Each structure stands twice: as structure tokens, then as C-alpha cells.
Structure 1
Amino acid sequence: MRTAQSDFLIFRVNAVAQLNLSFFEAASGMRASVCVRQTMLAVSVSAAFVSVTPASAQQTAVSIDIAPQLLGDALLRLGQQTDLQFIYQPSLLNGLRTSGVKGRLTPEQALNQLLSASAIRYTRQGNTITLQRRTAPQAAATAAGSDVAQLEQIVATLPSDPATTEGTGSYTSQASSSSTRLSLSPKETPQSVTVMTRQRMDDQGITQLSDLVQQTPGLSLDAGGNIGSDTSTIFSRGFEVDNYLIDGVGQVNSNYSRIFQSNDMVLFDRVEIVRGATGLMSGLGSPGGSLNMIRKRPTQEFQALAKLEAGSWDHYRSEVDVSTPMNEAGTIRGRIVGAIQNNHSYLDRLREKKRILYATVEADLTPSTLARLGFSYQEHNATGHARSGRPGFYADGGRTEWSRSDSAAADWAYSRRRNQAFFASLEHRFANDWLLKGTYSYASSRYDEVLGYAAGGFPDRQTGQGVMLWAGRWAGTPKQNSLDVYATGPYTLFGRKHELVVGATLTHTEEHTPTYGLWRFDGWNNAVDNIYEWDGSTPGAPPNPPNGRMHIREKTSSAYMTTRLRPTDALSVILGARITSWENDKRTFDLSGTPDTSVLQAEHGKLTPYAGVVYDVNKIWSLYAGYTSIFKPQTNMDTSGNYLKPLVGNSYELGVKGSLLDDTLNVSAAAFYLKQDNLAVALPGEFAPDGSSAYEAVSGARTRGFELEVSGQILPHWQLAAGFTRSVSKDKDGGVLSTEVAQNIFKLFTTYHMPHVGNGLTIGGGVRVQSKIYDDDLGPNKERFTQKGYAVVDLMARYAFTDKVSGYVNVYNLTDKKYYSGVGMAYYGAPRSIRAGVDIRY
């Protein structure tokens, strides 16, 4: 039955359609095409049956059935079957045909398929689609005479997946699932989530995971040694982040999780960073957060990229990225990505070589069934590699002053890492809008690290004597098999529509590795004669053959469920739980006759609950509250070799989020509180029996803090990402914990695009600011090592020589700020550097 509200909507939409049509006719100087008029009429008629058309409707799948025909006629049918309306110059579609589209798809997915074989791109404002020719977007927009031309928006094809960031030009994403597995917009997610988009990674020259961490709000990197070593630790909210996921599937290796830091960002469309406990996604959740790296996928249209880059310290990098349909209908699509990087460093003797290859194929087996296969290979080799810098104190207790290029690494020390991964997934969408997806992945890694670094003892201020070399070796070949299966979709309860996810995850990691001596060796003199004149060649490497072998088997199995209840249109209640079982069986076989050892750590049936409430104050703002428990088995040992008890506790978060400017700008503010027992705190200068750093368990630890963040487009052509975090951890007696992590962190990066300067000029810059960090009991007299607060400034520029060729330049640490990247025996941060390159796209 028609209501006064629907009658008003019919009148309003018809009036807007007639106004747009008249404006179109006046601006183009000719009568608008029949298809434009028909489409607008169809939209007006369809409006009679709905009361509102929110932006989120564009992300809802509907039944689409459009036969092969002329593209203009197909768009008319699409307008009749969805709530889209189209504006275009009549001659734009002359003679163009489409193969049609059928199935349950979002309006954007259907539109992308209809346009896949054409050279047509589009922009969207609300439900209005402006079609433009790829080679002359400004002329098409001007002919249309719409407000789009005045806004001069960047033309980009909207992705079929609302979470995909490639091609959007944005510093934010429309959706993510890394917090609850449900695909939610930032405003709908009751947790702090940052999405590092493809555009931002390209603008800032982010190619390594460590680069990304240093630029992400709320994260910090305590890099005592070279990036990627076992002393390179990521922190969030005062806690180590060791939850690494790829496409939502956890990477499990408690024995050496740092190997996952070697991932190169060329493989990924985006990285979704969740701050706070993520037990619902990972089962054994770190209270700090998680990093979910989402791989690039094949595109509906052909596209290709080639990039050549050179920079300071003999930095050379090349990338190739090609994606294409593999049949005429576009139902089979492939993508291949490759990168090569060679570089020296501001540190003496450090040289790195990286090789990356990635290939993936997608096939639409039916309109509702998608299969995907993929393979990746990553190789990261470094010589002159060290776990730390030189000693931070002289023998008299005074602070040392080294040149930023002074390395602690012996010239024979190295790190070699390799990873191969295979993955396959199959997903099917049913007629009732439920999705079933299964993913199997296999990853095989190999690492071999020979250690030699001048960090022992304290040098005499005059003679340079007193420094010793630490040496050792570790190697391994971990292999992980994982299977993740889940189903998600809507259901109706008490007359309202809700959402549900149910799933299960199995992982099995096995590692066979030789064991070697660590730190000291009989008959080997580890003294450095004079650290001031040391070139890394003496003393030579100690004899260090394998002295045993170790077999590690780690298994996790978990089942999870999440539901999003909608008691009212404005209120969402998200409830979830994951039940997890974990085993870590470590067996050591000694070749010297020492009795073999076997240690089994196991936890079974551990429940991790999750609860979140989101209230929409209006279409822009929402309030939220979230709770989850914390449970994490620990592989850290005390000085006696005993493993610490699992970390347990509770995490609470309150916040407000906003989605502004037609969902192009996301803002948030959050306050958080964590309480935990058995928190692992490192004991400086003390070691466990196996040579690793020793820890003690602290109970009653509490962490309080708050975060502010903004990301996205604040004006046409102006992108911004900024965030401030304050986090303080204390023990039960009020003593400050984790002093090596900055309590206050502010990060900002922004770019502005000027389309009328030549073929387009983009300029940008950013700053990273952190408060002081320190650690006690480090010098010969138990001195404190302090790094004062500092700020690092970066700049970038990119100029389009043609519509396909661009040149770019990035300047890092513009003011050449000198600072330590950690405390104790840390290296200095990188001095001022520059990278420049050319980017060719088709």
C-alpha cells in the first residue's frame, strides 16, 4: 500500500530526475538520449517501493538477470533491477555490446561485469553513476554537465568487493572483516581497525612490513637490530604483536614468528590492522593486535604495471604486475606479480637481496561459484646482519656515541630466508544469500641465520678494548598446513534480519631443524681488539657444527561463531566465541650424549568470548563498546628454562566512530583498558638455558589508554591519514611496564592531487612523533638508557608525464633526525634518504 512517505519520495525523485535531465540537456546543447530518460523514469518508479536508499544498499546482493545486448539497453535493465541511475553522453555507448550478467550480485558487481569488455569507467555520487571514456574522462564529465565535473573527482572503477582498496585512490576502506569475520564498515565495527590501503602504500613507498608498521597509527617498532631479526618487535598498546594472518588465515610458528615480518607488500591489496585483543579471529589472541595481509586478486579488466626505482645506498627495485581476463567472457582471470630488490644500507657491511613472485587464477565455475588458486615465492637474503647495535655504554658508565653507519655485524654473519606458499579456495553463494567458503593453504619456509655481532662488554673510552663478539646460528624449515571453512549469511528472528558466521580452522606446523652452539665456544677468542678500528673481519667465525636436532610440532584446532543481532535499525549487538585447542610438542636430541628432552605444552577447550554493541546515533555517528577475554600460551622461558604460564585477562573498549562526506572519511576515538596476568617481561642481560632471552611473568598488569584516528578524503583530491595513541602499562604496585615502548605516538600523512598541473601532480608529506623510551639496569653500573622523544618528517611527489607514465620521488627523514630505534644496544634510525622511480600503467 502506498503511503504519504512513498508518495513524497516519488515526487522528490521525479523532480530530481527532471532537474538533472534539464540541466543535462542545457549543458550538452542537445536533447538527452531516450535511454537516459527511460533509466531515470525506471529509477523513479522503483523508488515507489522503498522508503530509503542508503549507501550500504550498494553492498547488498540482489538477483540480476540481463541478457547479452547493446550496452545502453543493458544499463537500462540494470537501472530497472537496482536503484542505480546513469548519466552519460549518448554517443559514448554507440555500438557497444555486453555479454550480460546473471546471478545474485551487488549493483557494483553487476555494473563491473557489464562494463568489463568496454573502455568505459565511472564515478559514483550516491546512486548516480556517471559514465566516462577511459581515455578522456574530463571531456565526458563536462559533456554530462553534472556536479561531478565541477568536483573533478579522480576516475576509478569501483571494486566488486567493498573491502578492496586497489584502484580507489583512497586512504580508507569501505569494509573489513579482520575483527569479527563479518564484513562490516568501519562505523559498524566495535573495535579499533586501521586499513593500510594500496594507494597509501604506493604514495609512501611502503614495500616492507616494517615500513608499514612505522607508518601505522598506534603501532611502534622496537628494532634493536636489523629489520626482520628476532630483536625486531612490533608493539601495539604496549604489547607485542605476533598475530600475523594472510587472507584471514593465521600464520602459526611460536618457535620463530619473526620470519613472518619478511613479507613483501607488493603481494597485497591492503593490510587490515586490528588494535586490541583478537582472540575471536585467532583463538590464541595477542592483547596487542593483529596484522591481516590481504592478497591482490585478478581484475575484471586488463591492467599492467611496471615500476623501476633507485635510491640512496645503492637501492634498486623493480616491480611487474599484470592482471587479465583469460577468456572472452572474463569468467577466468589471472594475475602475476614479481619484484626484485637489491640494496646496501646506511650500516656498514649490510647488503640485502629480495626476490618475489606471485601468481593467482580465479574462475567463475557458475554465476554463484568462485574457485581460486595461487602461489607465492619470497626470498630475503642479507649479509652483515646483526641482532643489535654496538654497546650503549662505555666501561666508565658514560653513554657511547657511534656514527650512524657503525655496524655491530661481523662480515661473515648472514640471514637467509625463503618462503613458498600455495593456496586454494572455493566459495559458493546460495539463493538465500548465504556464502560458504573453504580455504586450504600450505606454506614452506626455510631460514638460516649465522650470528656474529659486537655487543658484549663495554669499551674502554680511550683504547676501544673490552668489546666481545656474540656468535651462534639457528636454522629451520617450518611447514604449515591450514584449513579454514566458514559459512555466513542472514537469518530472520522475531521479525528482524540478522547475520551469522560459523566456521572452523585447523593448522598444523611442523619443523625439523639442526641445533647449533650459541654465544660462547671452547677455544674461540671472541674479543675485539679495538672497536674504533674494527672492520668486522676479526675474530673469524667460530667452528659451529650441528650439536643436535630439534623436532617441533604445533597444532591448533578451533571452532567459532559470530552473530550480529539487530534489535532495532539503530542498534547492533555482536556476540561471538571461539573454542580452541593448542599443542606444542618440542623434542630435542643432543649429539653430545646429553639426555634428550621433550616438552609438551597443551591447552584444550579454551573459550574466547566476544561481545560488542554499536548504536547508530544518526547516519554519520555511532557509539560502541566491546569486550573480549585474553588467552595466549607462551613460549618464553625464565632463567631456569621453565615456560611461562599462559597470558590471561580481559580487554574492554569504548568509542565513537563517524563516517563523513558520503562515507569517504572515517574518524574514530576510543578508550581501552586491559587487565592481564602472567605478562612476559624481559630480563635485561639474562638468558634462558637454551640461550634465548629470559623473561619473568608479571601478574596484575593493567594497561589504560586512548586513541584518535582519521583517514580518507577530507576534500576532493585531498587524502589524509592521522592518528594519536596514548598507552600506559603498569604492574599491580603502580610501576611502569614496557618502558621500551613509547607511551605517546602521533602519525600523520597527507597528499593533495592537482589534476590541472600538467597531466596531474600529487604532493604529500607526513610526520611521525613519539615520546621518550627508556630501559634500566643496562650499563656497567646499572645505568638507564633513554631515547628522548623525536619527530621524523617525510615528503613525496608524483607527476604524470602522460596518462600512463608517472615519475615519483620520496624523501625520508627530511631533517636528518638522529635517534635510536630502540633502547640499550640498538641501531640508530635511518638518516635522510631519497628514492625515485618511474611508474608505467596500462
Structure 2
Amino acid sequence: MRLIDKGAVAHSSFLALSCVGVIISSTAMAAEPASSTADAETTADTAGRIIVNGQRMEADPGPKITAPLINTPRSIVVVDKQVIKDTGSATLVEALRTVPGITFGAAEGGNPIGDRPFIRGFDSQGSTYLDGVRDIGAQSREVFAVEQIQIVRGSDSTLGGRGSAGGSLNIISKLPRPENFAAGSLTIGNANYKRITGDVNYLLSSNIALRVNGMWHDQDVAERDAIFQKRWGIAPSLSIGINGPTKLTLSYYHLDTEELPDSGIAYRYVCSATVCNAPAGTVYSEPAVGTITTLGGQTGKVDRANFYGLKNRDFRDSKTDQATVRFDHDFGNGIRFRNTSRYSHTSQAYILTQPDDSQGNVIGTSVTAVATNPAAQGGYVWRRSNSRFGYTDSMVNQTDLYGTVETGALRHSFAIGAEFSFEKAERGAYILSDTRTTPRCTAQAIARFNCTSLFTPNPNDPWVNYAGDAADAAVTPVTRGGPETRTINNAKTQAIYAFDSISIGEQIVVNLGARYDSFKSKTTLPVFNGARTAVKRDDGIFNWQAGLIFKPTPNTSLYASYATSATPPNSLLGEGQESNGLGTVSATNSPAAVLAAADALRVERTKSYEVGAKADLFEARLSLTAAVFQTETKNARVTSDANTVTFVGERRVKGVELGFNGTVLPGWTVNGGYTYLDAKIVNGGFTALTAAAVGAQAAQTVLVTSLNTGRPFPQTAKHSFTVWSNYEVLKGLSLGGGAFYTSRVFGGYADNRRASQNSAGVVTVTPATSVILRSVPSYWRFDARVGYKINEQLDLTVNVNNLTNKVYFNQAYTSHYAGMAPGRTALATLNFKY
């Protein structure tokens, strides 16, 4: 029996089936139609033109991208709907596996569950946009209503505002088109995989078009015990004036999800000033999978399928609702106007098991038994509960005036605009007991299923919640923390921006951009000593970018660019992991101390330098790109040698990116690339060690150089390579597949330096004997695809993802555990079109 009050996050499966059923029962279903004749006849140099799998597609990068991609002095990658379809992708994370240089982190500690991409080594969780408008709130995004995904790499706060130190994602929605079609797909696969999508576009009149996208999805996860994912979504949109100079588009998006979140596999070793079971020297602490021998001499196999969570405790439910109104007007003289307004509400509630706790339960801390700690000899995992419930609301209005003008010999492609937004996020935690005593895995904790076997965990254990850790504690339901325990974040943004691509003759293009943001935020902390403290910030942020493009030929370009970004305190409103947030200010201090600490925070600033080359070959059917860049932050938040917050930390990324996309030969398409990232923490500040009290001597704090200094960025692969290719063997029969490589990714670092003092108060720092690098090893993954066109209305595709059933990890968390990737997944998809 699940004793959990999840709140109002439940959904209706009947409604999901009804929505999808309406789409399926339309006159017919179809795969995405080819581009219209007008699209196909557009010249290769049209602004926004991209080539994907040899097809000419309109890219709509938005008003702020003021030139064709070949004339844009930065690295921009586009994942088109055809690539999404061919790779069998259902989520944003799956679709982005075709792009090198992007890794993913996820929920740990205060970071909520949701998409957390790292671009060029920097966390871009808060730099995701939907149709050019910031899409804040922790979410796991679907692709059923996605036209394409644009990845802009490099510092780009000029484009989107706060954050964006390493790059950003812009998701383009499927919106009405001036034609009639119906499309859809039915997918089944192993691990009980079932998916239905539908896409209907209908011209209600010559100038009004309606489009409805829908999805229903239900699956387990291959080679992972107990895990399941269920979701449904619907996205209707209506365009009035679709063929005229003035157009109004109304759109709505709803996504409802239910899942058992995956708790991954615990790391082998721990190391701190109080407990360290790692071998001497510098060692990798990798996830404990495969054959493991504990310090107590127990040897067993940790299977990749092991799930350490609890089916009757763990859950995750989420909802996303977005309503958008967009007004476009073409003045007819090269000038256009656009205004976009959006209201967005996202909510989620979950309890996630975080396996182990850095106390040495996995491998153990002793070769002999310890009566008070059954886990001393190893072989146990603590089922720590991470929980969260909350919501994020945002209202955004964005206005753009853009187009082309000529001033003498100069041709300007410009955009000017303004943005106003209001955002609010509230979060709390569930009240439950999971034995947070030391040691964690006492006999009672094991008996209450708060600890489980490393080798044979049972997700069906009959766990119940107790009112506390005492032996006589009563059983009680899991409940939400009251309003007084919750944290509330509010933010207001007012911004103006301008961009200009200036063509000087046929060979020189100058790209300029600037943006100013007024970002005001407030965090209301939980009640402490009968009172709540509100912490406020008001930051003015200026960012700019400049680039120079030289075009040796009309289809090639060489460029150099410079761009900045700024990440103010509280940039994510508590909906992501940010070391510089107002939430890091402790509510347990006095109000004066809290306000002083908040006032000491500063905006972190990043700069990017990039040079590169682009070429469109074979009448723009194949695109090649190359870039060399450096991104640096010189005022990151760190701990100073006085044990205070200071902004002198330095991070630097040097890298190379190569990309290819399009048609090599008729019937043969490829896309992918290679990324090299030399990402280093140049200055990580200091770490505080505590020397325990001795006699009359009080405890003392001593500062030592941070172990992070000189280390690679966490969640960043030095080498990554992707290639996806499709070849038409015979008319109607195509073979395809992909190869994906990611080098070692680090999660975090730890050592066993410690401080002590004598009776005279003299402090001694004992150097580390062990240093652990929590990380996941490199891996190759291979996918395969076979497609057969049955007739003009039907085609069948079979995808096998992770063809070799490779055991690998797709997320390296800071500490405790890593995310296990799914095993071999075979999917058969029947696509309909009309």
C-alpha cells in the first residue's frame, strides 16, 4: 500500500486516449509531408535555410538570427524532425544524442528532475527556449510537437538574456501550414514499448489553418528493473491570416507524465576527512556494476538491471501547460513585426531514491565486522529519499521589429526588440523518514528497508513510512511539507536588444548585437524562529556580441566572433542547480546576516572567442562546419582564503568542433560531427577543513586549496563523436544507423585531507593519501535502422538502439551515483500519411 499524498498531479488516461483517438480517427494519417513547392524553389541563400538529410527545409531561427546560417559567425546545429523520426527519438534527450559535445546531468541534492544539458562544459538547464521565448521550469521534454531543435553554441546572453554561458537550445514547434494533411505513427517494441502520435493540419478556409498534434506513450526501460514511463500530450494551434501579410497564431501545449524515476548505480568508493575506503593514490570511483568484492570479502555481481528504489515509495508526476499568442505583420517593404505572449505553468512532484550517501556502505570501511554497523564490511546501499513538489509560472511578452534595409552601399539585416517577463516558482519537500542517523545502515534501517543489498535489491520491498527513526515510531502517511517550509522565488525581467548583419559588398559581413536586462528577483525563505525572510536582488546586465565574416565564394565563409554572457544570482529561480542562487543563503541566520550574504553575491560573467569556417557544397545539399573557440569565466563564485564568498574563481574551455550535415551522394545522407573540449577549472578557490575541539581549545577552521583546481569540468566529455547516416539501397528500401562516442565524464572530486589541532591550538593539515575522481568510463554506442516504403501512404521503420546492448552510463552525478543507460531497444514504427 502506498502511503503517499502526491497532491493534485494525477492525470486522466481516458482523456489521453480520447485526444489521441480524435487524431487517429481523422480522414487519414501521414508522415510529415515534404516541403511545399514554394519551399523547394527558394534559393539556397535564403535567410534561415538549412539542409537536413538532403531535403530543403525552412529553418525559422527567429528574428534574432539576422542572416543565413552560413553568414552567422557562430556554431549553430539544427536537429530536424526527419532526424528525430529516423533515429526513433521520443524525448529531447534522445534527439540530442546526434549532436557531439552535449552531455547531461540530472537530479541530485537540490537539483530537480528534468532536462539538464551541458553545452561546451556549461550547464544550460536554464537556457532552453521554445520558439525563441525562455522556457523556464524543470521539465522532461517530449518531441511529438517539435519541428526542429536549434543548438546555439558559445556565450549568447545577447540572444536570450541571463545564463547561456556555454550555449542554448531553441525548440521550434509544429504550427499550422497552408495545406491539408494528416500524419501519424504507431510504434511497438521490447520492454513493453508502445507509442502513438498524430499530426493533422487542415485549411478551414483559404486563410485559416488548424493543426493538432497528439501523443500517447507507455514503456518500461530495457535492462532496468521496475522502471516505467507513461505520458500523453496534445498541442493544438490555429493560424488566422496564414497566407496574408498579417497573421495571428494561437497555440496550446499540454504534457502529462507519470513514471518511476531511475535511481541509477552507486559509486564504488567514498573519500572524505572522516571516511575513505579508496586505495592509496588517485583512483577513479566508477559505478559499482559487474563483479564487486567488498572489504569484508563478499564477492557478487551487480547487474545493470539493479534498481535500488522502492516501487511503493518512489514516483514522479509532472504537468506542463503553455498557451501562446503570436501576432505577425509584414509591412511589405522588407520590414516585419512580431509580438509573442506566452503563459506557462509547469508542476512536478516526486520522491527519488538516491542510492548511497558517501559513508562507505557499498565497498565497506572495515575488513572485520562492526556490531553497530552491518554495512561496515560493505555490500549495502542506503535508499536516501530526495523529494520535491512545486510549480513554476511564467508570463512573457516579446516584441520584435526586423527586416532588411539598405543605406548606401551597405545592406542591413536587423532586429530590434523588447522583452518583459514575470516568473514565480514555489517548491517544498515531502515529510518522510529514511533513517538519517550515523551509521545509515543500522539493523533497524535494514529491517525497515531503508537500506538494501548491493547485489540483490528488491524494489518490491514492503516499505512503510515511520514518524521518525526511533524504534517505537508509529507508521504514518507521507505528506507534503506545510506552506511555512516552502521556498518561493519571484523574478521580473525587462530587456531591450538589437542585432544587425551588415553586408559590405559581396564578401564582407559584420555581425553586431547588444542586449540590456533589468533582472529583479526575490526569494522568500522558509519560516525560521517564527518569521520568514525575503531576500531581494536587482541586477542590471549588459551583453554584446560582434563577428566578422569573409566569403571567398557565395557558398563558403570564414568568421571570427566574440560574445559575452552573464549569469546573475537566482538565475534559475531554484529550478536547477546553481551555486550562486539566493537559495544558498541560509535561512537559519539572522535576517541581517541573510541580507548581507545576498548583497555579497555578484553576477558571473563569461566571454567566448571563436573562429571558424562553413561551406555549403553540392548546391547546398551538404553543409560542412569547423570552429575553434575559447570560453572563460574569471569571476565564478568560490570560497576565499578567508572562508567567505568571493568571485575570483576561473573556468576555461578550449575546444574544436567539426560538423557535417546533408547529402553526400544521391540517396546517401549523413549528419554528425566531432567535438574536443579542454575544459579546466583554473581556480576553484578554497575548501574549509574543521579541526575538532581539543580540551579548552574550540574547533578551528582552516582553508586549503580546492581539490577542483586544475581538474576537468564535471559533466563534460573531452572527446565526443557522432555520425548518423541513411542510404537508399533500393527504391523504397533504406538502411541506416549511427555511431556515438563519448570519452570519460567526471562527476566530482574528493580526497581525505584532514585538519587536527593540539592542546595549544596549533592546527596541522594531514595531506591526502587518496583522491577519488567520481566518473563514468568512455563508451561507443551503435544504433541501426531499416526503412521500407510500402506505398505513398505507408512506410515501415525498424530501429534498434544500443545495438550491441552496451553497458554504459549516460549521466555522471556530482557524488553518490551515476545514471545507467537503457539496454538494447528494438522499435517497429508504422507511419501513415495522406
Residue type matched to 1:301 in 2? E
Aligned residue identity for 2:793: K
Provide the rounded CA distance (Å) in 2 between the counterparts of 1:419 and 1:469: 29
Q: Is 1:794 aligned to 2:791, yes or no?
A: no
CA offset digits 1:83-109 (Å, max 9, x no partner): xxxxxxxxxxxxxxxxxxxxxxxxxxx
1:358-397 equivalences under 5 Å are 358-364=235-241, 367-383=244-260, 385-386=261-262, 388-393=264-269, 396-397=277-278
Residue 542 (structure 2) aligns with: 607
Q: CA, structure 1 residues 649+366, in 2 after alignment: closer, same or farther (shift >3 Å)?
A: closer
Q: Which moved more, 1:765-774 or 1:730-739?
A: 730-739
Give 1:528 deviation, angstroms: 1.1
Equivalent residue, structure 2, for 1:617 = 552
Aligned residue among 349, 360, 363 for 1:458: 360
Would the alpha carbon gap of residues 169 and 707 (structure 1) be closer, same or farther in structure 2, given more than 3 Å must change? closer
Decide whether the 8 Å contact of 1:220 with 1:236 is kept in 2.
Answer: yes
- 2:331 is matched with which residue? 430
Which of 502, 506, 509 does residue 572 from structure 1 map onto?
509
Name the structure, 1 or 2, with higher relative contact order (CA <8 Å, separation 6+).
Answer: 2
Q: Residue 677 of structure 1: CA displacement?
A: 2.4
Q: Which secondary structure state, in structure 2, belongs to the residue aligned with residue 477 of structure 1?
A: strand
**Would you say 1:534 and 2:462 are equivalent positions?**
no
Partner of 1:510: 424
Q: Distance in 2 between matches of 1:593 and 1:127?
A: 67
Matched, 1:251 2:135: yes
Cα 1:822–1:807 change in 2 (3 A) is same
Report the residue type matching 1:367 in the other structure: G
- 2 CA distance for matches of 1:517 and 1:171? 54
Larger Rg: 1
Q: How does the TM-score come out when normalised to structure 2?
A: 0.74
Tell me the residue number matched to 1:191. Answer: 74
- Give the 3 Å change call, closer, same or farther, for CA 388–533 of structure 1 in structure 2: closer
Q: Tell me the distance in 1 between the aligned counterparts of 2:530 and 2:268.
A: 37
| Alpha-carbon contact 1:528-1:538 (below 8 Å) kept | no
* Cα deviation 1:123-161 (Å, max 9, x = unaligned): 998789xxxxxxxxxxxxxxxxxxxxxxxxxxxxx9999
Q: Is residue 611 of structure 2 the alignment partner of residue 654 of structure 1?
A: yes
Which amino acid is the alignment partner of residue 322 of structure 1? V
Change (3 A) 1:331 1:742: same
Letter in structure 1 aligned against 2:632:
K
Q: Secondary structure at the match of 1:532?
A: coil
How far is 1:701 from its partner?
2.1
The alpha carbon displacement at 1:237 in A equals 1.1
Matches within 5 A, 1:652-691: 652-679=609-636
Match of 1:632 in 2: 567
**Alignment correspondent of 2:794:** 805
Q: Does 1:299 align with 2:177?
A: yes
* Residue 479 (structure 1) aligned with residue 393 (structure 2): yes
Say yes or no: does 1:237 pair with 2:126: no
Counterpart for residue 215 of structure 2: 339
Name the CA shift for 1:246/1:681 in 2 (closer, same or farther; >3 Å).
Answer: farther
Q: 1:557 aligns to what SS in structure 2?
A: strand
Instruction: Say if 2:489 is the partner of 1:588.
Output: no
Partner amino acid for 2:517?
T
Identical residues among aligned pairs (%): 21
SS at match of 2:809: coil
> Is residue 318–residue 340 contact of structure 1 (8 Å, CA) maintained in 2?
yes
Distance 1:231 1:804 in 2: 37
- 1:409 and 2:309 are equivalent in the alignment: yes
C-alpha distance in structure 1 between counterparts of 2:749 and 2:414, whole Å = 52
Partners of 1:777 and 1:806 in 2: CA distance: 50
Q: How many Å separate the matches in 1 of 2:810 and 2:719?
A: 15
Closer/same/farther in 2, CA of residues 586 and 785 from structure 1, 3 Å limit = closer
1:603 alignment partner AA: D
Mapped pair 1:555 → 2:492: yes
Q: Deviations over 1:439-476 (max 9, x none)?
A: 11111111111233332243365975543221242111
Q: Go from structure 1 to structure 2 and tell me whether the alpha carbon gap of 1:355 and 1:765 turns closer, same or farther (over 3 Å shift).
A: same
Equivalent position amino acid for 2:825 in 1: S
**Hey, what's the Cα distance between the residues in 1 that align with 2:39 and 2:324?**
35
Q: Distance in 1 between matches of 2:498 and 2:87?
A: 38
The separation in 2 between residues aligned to 1:779 and 1:349, in whole angstroms, is 35
Contact 1:225 1:231 in 2 (8 A): no
Separation in structure 2 between the aligned mates of residue 764 and residue 682 of structure 1, nearest angstrom: 51
Question: Are the equivalent residues in 2 in contact too, given 1:224–1:827 (CA < 8 A)?
Answer: no
Whether the aligned pair in 2 keeps the contact of 1:656 and 1:670 (CA below 8 Å) is yes
Question: Are the aligned partners of 1:357 and 1:377 in contact in 2 as well (CA < 8 Å)?
Answer: yes
Contact 1:410 1:454 in 2 (8 A): no
Question: How far apart, CA to CA, are the structure 1 residues paired with 2:39 and 2:94?
Answer: 33
- Worse-superposed segment, 787-796 or 228-237: 228-237
Q: Using the alignment, how far apart are the partners of 2:114 and 2:727 within structure 1?
A: 37
Instruction: Looking at secondary structure, tell me which structure has more helix per residue.
Output: 1
Q: 1:467/1:386 Cα in 2 relative to 1: closer, same or farther (>3 Å)?
A: same
* Distance in 1 of aligned mates of 2:543 and 2:361: 50
SS, match of residue 212 in structure 1:
helix
User: Which residue of 810, 832, 837 maps to 2:829?
Assistant: 837
- Contact 1:162-1:173 at 8 Å conserved across structures: no
Instruction: Evaluate the alpha carbon distance shift between residue 361 and residue 587 of structure 1 in structure 2; reply closer, same or farther with a 3 A threshold.
Output: same
- Please say if residues 652 and 682 of structure 2, whose CA atoms lie closer than 8 Å, have aligned partners that are also in contact: yes
Change (3 A) 1:294 1:677: same
Deviation readout 1:614-635 (Å, 9 max, x if unpaired):
1111122111111112211144
Q: How far, CA to CA, are the matches of 1:681 and 1:200 in structure 2?
A: 41
CA contact (8 A) 1:450 1:474 kept: yes
**Is 2:167 the counterpart of 1:289?**
yes
Cα distance in 2, alignment partners of residues 231 and 391 from structure 1? 22
**Residue 324 (1) aligns with residue 324 (2):** no
| Superposition deviation, residue 655 in structure 1 | 0.5
CA distance in 2, matches of 1:835, 1:278: 38
Rounded to whole Å, the distance in 2 between the matches of 1:555 and 1:357 is 30
CA shift for structure 1 position 550 = 2.9
What TM-score comes out, normalization by structure 1 length?
0.73
Matched to 2:350, the amino acid is E
Instruction: Give deviations 1:400-450, integer Å, cap 9, x for gaps.
Output: 322111113222111111011111111111132210110111111111112
* CA distance in 2: counterparts of 1:748 and 1:741, whole angstroms: 19
Q: CA deviation at 1:569?
A: 1.9
Distance 2:518 2:454 in 1: 50
Check the 8 A contact 2:714/2:746 in 1, yes or no: yes
State the match for 2:407 in structure 1.
493
Following the alignment from structure 2 to structure 1, what is the Cα–Cα distance between the partners of residues 463 and 318? 25
**Shift in Å at residue 397 of structure 1?**
3.6
The letter for the 2-side match of 1:628 is: A
Q: CA deviation at 1:505?
A: 0.8
Post-superposition offset of 1:251? 1.7
Report the equivalent of 1:718. 668
Give the residue type in structure 2 aligned to 1:488.
Y
Amino acid corresponding to residue 494 of structure 2 in structure 1:
S
Q: Where does the alignment leave 5 or more consecutive residues of structure 1 unmatched?
A: 1-117, 129-157, 684-693
Q: Indicate the residue corresponding to 1:773 in structure 2.
A: 745
In the other structure, the counterpart of 1:214 is 97
Matches of 2:255 and 2:228, distance apart in 1: 17
Q: Secondary structure at the match of 2:783?
A: strand
Of 391-400 and 342-351, more deviation after overlay is shown by: 391-400
Contact 2:209 2:242 in 1 (8 A): no
SS of equivalent to 1:610: strand
